[in-house]
Amino acid sequence: MVNLVRSMTTVPTDILARGVALACRAPSYHNSQPWHFVADRDRLHLYLDPNRVVQTDFTERQALISCGAVLDHLGVAMAAAGWETIIDRLPDPNNLEHLASIDFTETTVVTDEHRRRAEAIATRRTDRLPFDPVPDWDGFETLLRSRIDDTVALVDVVSDAGRHELAQANVLTNALRFYDSTYFATLHRWTAPFEASEGIPYDSLVSATEGDRVDVGRAFPMSHHPERREQVPVDLSTILVISAHDDTRRDTLGCGETLSTVLLEATVAGLATCTLTHLTELSASRHLVEELTGRTLPQVLVRVGQAPVNEQFPPPTPRRPLADVLTVNL
């Protein structure tokens, strides 16, 4: 067996490869998967792949959030395999695409919690249908707060009154996008019948009537499959807003790491989630989100709710082959 040789300890390459493969189940903007891992004889490195940045992501903000999510997913995946990650973020000031250098130390104990969180990576889905409310929000929020590091990013819960304002911001966003041909061309590119390894598949989109039952959601090209989840007439999810401390690549990356924590904790708790970034893409709607939270740099929103039990879910969204996202240089 070939080993990844490091200064601190030795990570078998097959374990590393499985960890990276599982981490790449992380959510990304339009399922663009804008990351690339490189393993050398010293450590593992995460790079932002500029060739995978979506056309309308001019500042790479969405790509950085996506890469933050895959970075946190990697830590979860490796912890379940018995390895702790030590991360040096943005280690090279002369290469802004070099997002992290990652070392590993072997751990003596893998807990059931480690395993549950890794299993959640594989079972999590972006669910764009309406949700029932979270049965015990206070209990879930208390647990979630214990997992979140507020020094990395800030998480706020939108109130019922604020939910109405978000719905108005959603309407405003759609109106401002109405004549944006570049935006819609990009959206269609990532949702059209696509290669098997990327983009948003047809089964993950919603029909017009399904979309009408969700007051805060991105307007994707509509699907035409039979109506689903008719027993949930209106979305009763709770919406979280993740905000950055500062307008830096490091802080934006941290919002993606926090997004990963939110999604995995919700999945472990048996809850459904939907990540939303359309309300922070335009200054007008982003300003409305800022007023709701009192934060100046909202980056990403998450709907959290309850999906009906025993419901048939669409297949997981595709992922790029491991050989495309991991290079091993030994």
- Structural domains in the chain? 3-124+317-328 (3.40.109.10), 137-305 (3.40.109.10)
126 with 273: CB under 8 angstroms? yes
Q: What percent of the chain has pLDDT over 70?
A: 95
Over residues 248-267, the mean pLDDT reads 98
Over residues 49-68, the mean pLDDT reads 97
Q: How confident is the model at residue 9 (pLDDT cuts 50, 70, 90)?
A: low
Q: How confident is the model at residue 194 (pLDDT cuts 50, 70, 90)?
A: low
| pLDDT of 167 higher than 80 | yes
Closest CA to 214 of 272, 290, 281, 151: 272
Phi, psi of 304 (to 5 degrees): -130, 130
In order of 52, 122, 289, 315, 327, the CA distances from 191 in angstroms are 15, 22, 27, 15, 28
pTM confidence score = 0.94
The lowest-confidence range among 186-190, 222-226, 280-284 is: 222-226
The lowest-confidence range among 107-116, 129-138, 180-189, 294-303 is: 180-189
Over residues 57-80, the mean pLDDT reads 98
130 with 233: CB under 8 angstroms? yes
Q: How confident is the model at residue 310 (pLDDT cuts 50, 70, 90)?
A: confident
